[in-house]
Chains A and B, each alone.
Chain A
Amino acid sequence: MSNGADTPLLVVGLGNPILSDDGIGWRVAQQVRTIMPANGSVAVIEACVGGLSLAELLVGCRRAIIVDAILTEGGVPGTVYRLRLDDLPGTLNLASAHDTNLSTALRALRRFGADVPPDEAIWVVAVEAQDVWTFAETCTPEVERAIPAAVEAVRALLKQPAAAPRE
């Protein structure tokens, strides 16, 4: 599967780009693309998948940063979270109801000998969403305003050494 992932670090903007705040991952990824190093060490893609399909996108990369929308109980729209894969209660798109969640999918791929990064080399930048039910090409204002902070969170992670120790 071609995914532009044969680079050490992959940034995946996740979500549905025509479903209001669900498209936040795409918006952030598009911004990140403009600031990434020119040495080809980072690839940026946008995707609208979960589970196995998402895990398959990570084949070949050493580290990954996934940007997605999240809905938490009582969360304030626009809040940016930096999470590890096993911190997750689940962002909106990380799993697929039609196969399995990302963690299980990655574990399955590893069992088959696929070259996917270890869980500790996968970060998730999640943005608290407000509306993920209305078809629209723009985010709600609160979430739109969070784009610079989310881009900054990705930028900070890009600077980190691979497999940074857990905080």
Chain B
Amino acid sequence: MTRISIDPITRLEGHGKIEIFLNDQGSVENCYFQVPELRGFEVFCLGRPAEEMPRLTSRICGVCPEAHMMAAAKALDALYHVTPPPAGIKLRELLYSAFFVTDHTTHFYALGGPDFVVGPHAPAAERNILGVIAKVGLEIGGQVIAARKRNHRVIEMIGGRTIHPIAAIPGGMSHPITEAQRQEIIAVARENVAFAQFTIQLFHDVVLANSDYVGLITSPGYTQRTYYMGLVDENNKVNFYDGLVRVVDPDGVEFVRYAPDHYLEHIAEHVEPWTYLKFPYLKKVGWKGFVDGKDSGVYCATPLSRLNAADGMATPLAQAEYEQMYSVLGGKPVHHTLATHWARIIELQYAAERMLELAEDPEVANPVVRVIPTQKPTEGVGIVEAPRGTLTHHYFTDENGILVEANLIVGTTNNNAPISISIRRAAEALIHNGEVSDGILNQIEMAFRAYDPCLSCATHSLPGQMPLELIVRDASGQVTHHSSQYVAPELLAEL
């Protein structure tokens, strides 16, 4: 049997590894996706005051601390039996929208975008943010940096700090914003709306206008039919901060809609001996292995999943593009993994518009942003949509508010099984007769990259742009092919 191994040099947000085994005919026999999970977070939390959790859990991750802070704060609201005042809730969602704008912008231009904007077959040294800039122009690169900067400023204003904000606390927020700050945020949000429109136009011009790319997106190697999950508001529209968890089946029919504190009735976790990371699945469908379809409990929780699980977007520009995507890709639900990139910029548009709506509401500058908890703490669940998937925090305390149990299901963990299926399917479609090229390896990695995986919710990163290492072994276990996505700085083309 031939063995192909895609293994990062250090850690991919916790060191992921992809191994592909080929049979004697040189076709894919099996495929494994592994990550060594970081150890002991639950134990680390035990015995600590519950109110430390928003700050503590935000430290798990250097990429989406805002998501952990929000899930933790919402879990604490439930734990302390308190509902934040309207301004407290709106301020949280305002901060969260600014965070989504930043995160989705960065992913599109720096990580996911290079595959399309620069091209899936482009040399690895060009598939990065510099390559994108070379293709679309320096001025746009400047806009990406400016977008990050102005939204970081908003996060700092509301959250108290730019990175690892601290302002969300049980019962609301630690401080209000001023009317002047609200006006400043309105201006930022307007720029964001325009920038998102521009980004969508760019996607149309560069990706959708290219029939090869559309063919790639809709090809069988990047297609799988699973259940889809996402938070929805009372009108079944996508919501990042709050709502009910809705799951639709592979035909797009609502399977279940549940309140966060019922998650354990619907989600169970499968364990495999070859990986530390668990595989969440729909309890009522059951674990049937790494297969898609209606009989398999595998579900997906990504930007595309959120759009599939909802009936639409709550803001007009995002809704228009939502309709456009489903029209072009043949109706709901869309099962093409690479369409996640399109879904992500539709969410970018929504986040920008929602941010503007919230900022234009004078209520967000109301000085009453917190209700002081007065009841004894017990147990609480908080769910938000993190950029990479549904994020669940669940805490139990004693009557003094000291943590006695904690359970977290982080964004990417939801997608552990779908990622495994995606990688296998792409590999099966691309590898024939044992022939493996850099282009093929990159296209396999594209299936993985569409999820923007953040595996152990750690802060760890890598020397390169997701430097996956890939090893091909023949039937006797000998290495016949070895490549690495790691790009040494000196190899970067002067762009």
Stretch of B68-76, B315-323, B459-467 at the chain-chain interface: B459-467
Stretch of B20-28, B115-123, B145-153, B353-361 at the chain-chain interface: B145-153
| In-complex Cβ contact of B63 among A19, A47, A96 (8 A) | A96
- Contact string, A87-120, partner B, CB cutoff 8 A, digits 1/0? 0111011111111110111011101111000010
How far apart sit A98 and B114, CA to CA, in the bound complex (Å)? 12
Interface check A146, CB cutoff 8 A: no
Closest to A48 in B: B62
Residues of chain A within 8 A (CB-CB) of B436 are: none
| In-complex Cβ contact of B62 among A50, A90, A105, A113 (8 A) | A50
Closest to B153 in A: A1
Known A18-B44, A98-B452, A104-B489: A111·B138 in contact at CB below 8 Å: yes
How far apart sit A130 and B343, CA to CA, in the bound complex (Å)? 40
How far apart sit A56 and B486, CA to CA, in the bound complex (Å)? 22
Known A98-B63, A108-B130, A108-B141: A2·B156 in contact at CB below 8 Å: yes
Most chain A C-beta atoms within 10 Å of own C-beta, residue among B130, B152, B463: B463
**Chain B facing A: main interface SS:** loop
Q: How many residues of chain A have a CB within 8 Å of chain B?
A: 48
Q: How far is the CB of A106 from chain B (nearest CB, A)?
A: 10
How far apart sit A143 and B130, CA to CA, in the bound complex (Å)? 37
Q: How far is the CB of B36 from chain A (nearest CB, A)?
A: 7
| In-complex Cβ contact of B162 among A2, A15, A114 (8 A) | A2
| In-complex Cβ contact of A95 among B63, B162, B463 (8 A) | B463
Interface check B107, CB cutoff 8 A: yes
| In-complex Cβ contact of A109 among B62, B145, B162, B462 (8 A) | B145
Closest to B453 in A: A97
Q: How far is the CB of B458 from chain A (nearest CB, A)?
A: 7
Most chain A C-beta atoms within 10 Å of own C-beta, residue among B106, B141, B156: B106
Q: How far is the CB of B57 from chain A (nearest CB, A)?
A: 10
Are the C-beta atoms of B459 and A97 separated by less than 8 Å?
no
Are the C-beta atoms of A92 and B111 separated by less than 8 Å?
no
Residues of chain A within 8 A (CB-CB) of B156 are: 1-2
Q: How far is the CB of A92 from chain B (nearest CB, A)?
A: 6
Are the C-beta atoms of A89 and B130 separated by less than 8 Å?
no
Residues of chain B within 8 A (CB-CB) of A108 are: 129-130, 133, 141, 145
Interface check A36, CB cutoff 8 A: no
How far apart sit A99 and B111, CA to CA, in the bound complex (Å)? 5
Are the C-beta atoms of B145 and A112 separated by less than 8 Å?
yes
- Contact string, A123-165, partner B, CB cutoff 8 A, digits 1/0? 0000000001111100000000000000000000000000000
Residues of chain A within 8 A (CB-CB) of B38 are: 19, 133-135
Residues of chain B within 8 A (CB-CB) of A79 are: none
How far apart sit A153 and B345, CA to CA, in the bound complex (Å)? 45
Residues of chain B within 8 A (CB-CB) of A100 are: 110-111, 128-129, 465
Residues of chain B within 8 A (CB-CB) of A113 are: 142
Interface check B12, CB cutoff 8 A: yes
| In-complex Cβ contact of B490 among A48, A86, A90, A95 (8 A) | A86
Interface check B216, CB cutoff 8 A: no
| In-complex Cβ contact of B464 among A71, A85, A101, A132 (8 A) | A101
Known A19-B459, A52-B106: A136·B465 in contact at CB below 8 Å: no
Residues of chain A within 8 A (CB-CB) of B148 are: 52, 56
Residues of chain A within 8 A (CB-CB) of B454 are: 97-98
Interface check A51, CB cutoff 8 A: yes
Interface check B164, CB cutoff 8 A: yes
How far apart sit A90 and B9, CA to CA, in the bound complex (Å)? 9
Interface check A17, CB cutoff 8 A: yes
Interface check B59, CB cutoff 8 A: yes
A-B contact pairs, 10 of them (CB 8 A): A1-B162, A16-B60, A50-B459, A51-B110, A90-B9, A99-B129, A101-B463, A104-B492, A108-B133, A112-B138
